[in-house]
Amino acid sequence: MAQQSTDYVTLVSSDGFEFKLQRSAATVSGAIKRMLDPISNFTEAQTNTCTFENINGVVLEKVCEYLYYNEKHKNNKDVPDMDIPPELCLELLMAADFLDGESCTAVCLISNADTGLV
């Protein structure tokens, strides 16, 4: 039996590390949101678990830190930059590109899309 959506979701790294975090924080990432979308019928949505074949534990830990940082500061002015270790920046850049997907900080400007402006 498939499980219902839960408040917490699990992110699993390529080397088997598991991170449990709040759904609201995790779904800021467009990619995670799509994976966990109940109507998507992805395995992940059924199990409330996302496995990332190419993100290792060290990088995924930093990703989770970011997701909480974003949740904490989303309405704050003067947000301090989160510290990123230089040796991780390229991997985080790649991970961010994947996770942000189409719309991390989702700006879907106009709801009726037929304005002809691209």
Partner 1 sequence: MDSRSPSPDLPSSPPALPSTFPRRKRARIDYCYDENTSSDPPVFSSDDGPEASIDNYVTPRKKKQYRGTWWDHQPVAEASNNTAAKVDLTRNVDSGVWMGSDGTDDSAASATRSSFGADTTMSEVADLPDEVGRVGCRAIAMLSPTASKLGAVTEGLARQIIEQCLDDGKEMVDLSDLSLTAISDATLRPLRALIRAPRAADAVLDSRRSSRSDSDLYAPFTPSLQLFLSRNSLRSLPRELWNLQTLTVLSLRNNALTEIPSAIANLRNLKELNLAGNRLRWLPWELLGLVASRGPLQRLTVLPNPFVQGTRFHGELAQQGHWRFPANPQKMEAVAAQLRLKLQHTNSPGSQEQFEWLLKLHEVYAERMREIGDSNREDNWFAPKIGVDYPLNLWKEDPVHLASTPVTFFTFDGRLERHSPPPPSTTPEDIRFLPSATRHTSTAAPQSVAHASRAPSLFELSLRTITSMPFSAPLSLLPLLPPDAPDSVVRALHTVDEAKQDNGKKCSVCGKGYVIHRTEWIEWWHCVPDSLVTGLDAIGVPFLRRGCGVKCSPYEGKLWDH
Least Å distance, CB 57 to partner 1, is 14
Query: Where do the DSSP E strands lie in the chain?
Result: 8-12, 18-22, 49-51
Taking the alpha carbons at both ends of the chain, their separation in whole angstroms is 43
User: Is 113 among the residues that bind partner 1 (CB under 8 A)?
Assistant: yes
**Of the candidate residues 8, 50, 57, 58, the single one contacting partner 1 (CB under 8 A):** 50
**b/e map of 25-40 (b: 16 or more CB within 10 Å)?**
bbbbbbbbbbbbeeee
Q: Which residues bind partner 1 (CB under 8 A)?
A: 1-3, 28, 31, 34-35, 40-44, 46-50, 52-55, 63, 66, 69-70, 73-79, 81-82, 84-87, 89-100, 102-111, 113, 115, 117-118
